[in-house]
Amino acid sequence: MAKNSGYTGPLEQVGTCQWRIPKTYRDDMRVDGLIFADESLIAQIKKDQGPEQVVNVATLPGIQKASLAMPDIHWGYGFAIGGVAATDPEEGGVISPGGVGYDINCGVRLLRTDLAWDEVKPRIRQLVDELFREIPTGVGQRGRFLFDKPKLSRLMEQGSAYVVEQGWGTVRDLGFTEAGGRLDGADPDRVSDRAFTRGYDQCGTLGSGNHFLEVQVVDRIHDQEAADVMGLREGQVTVLIHSGSRGLGYQVCDDYLGVFKGAPKRYGFSLPDPQLACAPVRSPEGQSYLGAMRAAANYAWCNRQLLTHQAREVFARVLGTPWESLGMDLVYDVAHNIAKFEHHQVGGGISKQVCVHRKGATRAFPPGHPEIPDEYHKIGQPVIIPGSMGTASWVLAGLPGSMEQTFGTTCHGAGRMMSRTAAIKLAGDRRIDKELDAIGIIARARGHKGLAEEQPAAYKDVDQVVEVVDKAGISKKVARLRPVGVIKG
């Protein structure tokens, strides 16, 4: 199956923003495929083989209800990015590293401040320059926080609490992080020495690709009640951090793809794509991967916590005020690439525990859900949707429709519309940083290539993507944020 050949199979519109690929399309499908998109987005989505990957995921043993895809879907490794699948461990359900992704617990966190844009604007260039100087960005960049194997083991077991105990955050930060910044069952003994080596000096570093730290301004409020609860107001300065588990998480994924390579044959099932390599959740291989994946996820939460600490230090130094006095509190932190055990309705009024794979997708639990902070019980879990560095980002809140339709899930970003190679070719000799500067966005990166790869034209329209999930009733629009400064690898 060629990545760029385009999808030619069936797509039936079954709702305002829902398109079904019936399980009759292929004999090996166990459930339907279901893509959330409007007519304009579905035309873009069909241009690559992302929908065929939705079909492939529908063949996984133990899959429940449907193989799902969010409106930011695009081609990925095994699963499409934007893919969601829940499997039942008691029905031979599988766990797939390709359904989590190479960057385990890539995710985002949003910090609010008490600062108005008018206060920060005269110092924004200095602020961005200082952030770029102090926060390590780019491939292989070494951070200032070093963790030998015993310390790294404790960090991966305890998650964010470990770095907070060292003085690099607050107890409040933990309460406003998905899962409290820690997945139970993390097992550092299942993580390879190579992954430990890669993780030694990368916690507290931003990385490359689409990872960034962005200074933003609240552009527009759509739901005043929810915005008030989150502490957001128009004209306010915020900080958005997007990063994951760095080389450690990549190595964990790579290691277990090798372990899982022969698992389907051993357990008596076949797959349409070797990139879907998987094993039953209850198998030794499945349990080993879960222990390592959770350890990498905890590392990623620590990474974002240390990035937060460094950003707070820079703001305090540049503005000459302690960060606490600047009101730099965490709104929320959400994971994008993860597999978690959750209770969901799977049809016929039956609720059971399933293993939910979210690959480039965001948890979006509704009001009253026991796993979200008490402060957000009335409005639903905050959902943070980054756009490209030249367009808006969004804050949403989870709705009951997410539990009914998508295993408590919504989109995770704008979604790429062209490959990095194509984006570099499109940029040619242009200076993306100068183009952004001309529209009031200061961008700093290790090189022009990184900015070219991530230029706004490489992505779908984030406003359109967010409109789909809002209309579908899986998450609602709360606030729109526009970038004024960004640092990237």
Annotated binding site: 103, 210-214, 242, 336-337, 386-389, 393, 412-415, 488
Query: What DSSP character marks residue 406?
Result: S
Both tokens assigned to 258? 């090798």
Q: What is the full DSSP assignment across 191-259?
A: S-HHHHHHHTTTTT---STT-EEEEEEEEEES-HHHHHHHT--TTEEEEEEEE--HHHHHHHHHHHHHH
User: Which spans in 242-358 are helix H?
Assistant: 246-260, 263-266, 284-319
Question: What gap in Å lies between CA 108 and CA 188, rounded to an integer?
Answer: 24
Q: Which amino acid is at 296?
A: A
Which residue type is seen at 246? R
Cα separations (Å) of 320 from 41, 316, 325, 387?
A: 46, 5, 10, 30
Helix (H, G, I), strand (E, B) or coil at 84: strand
β-pairing verdict for 442-444 and 475-488: parallel
Q: Where in 411-474 does DSSP place strands (E)?
A: 442-444
Q: Is 235 left (phi over 0), alpha (psi -120 to 50) or beta?
A: left
Tokens of 172: 């409040």
Q: DSSP letter for 170, please.
A: -
Sign of CA dihedral 287, 289, 295, 300: negative
Q: Which residues fall within 8 angstroms of residue 343, CB to CB, at 6 or more apart?
A: 351, 352, 353, 354
| CA 153/CA 200 separation, integer angstroms | 11
Residues 6+ apart with CB under 8 A from 329: 111, 112, 172, 176, 231
Please report, as a single letter, which amino acid is at residue 247: G
Residue 44: partners with Cβ closer than 8 Å, 6 or more residues away: 417, 460
Nearest to 453 by CA among 426, 485, 486: 426
- Residues comprising the binding site for Mn(2+)? 103, 211, 242, 336
| Dihedral class, residue 386 (left if φ above 0, else alpha if ψ from -120 to 50, else beta) | beta
Establish whether 74 is a catalytic residue: no
Q: What is the CA 98 to chain-centroid distance, rounded?
A: 14
Q: Which residues does the annotation place in the binding site for GMP?
A: 210-214, 336-337, 386-389, 393, 412-415, 488
Among 74, 309, 344, 412, which one carries the catalytic annotation?
412
CA dihedral 218, 223, 224, 227 (to 10 degrees): -50
> Which residues are known to be catalytic?
412
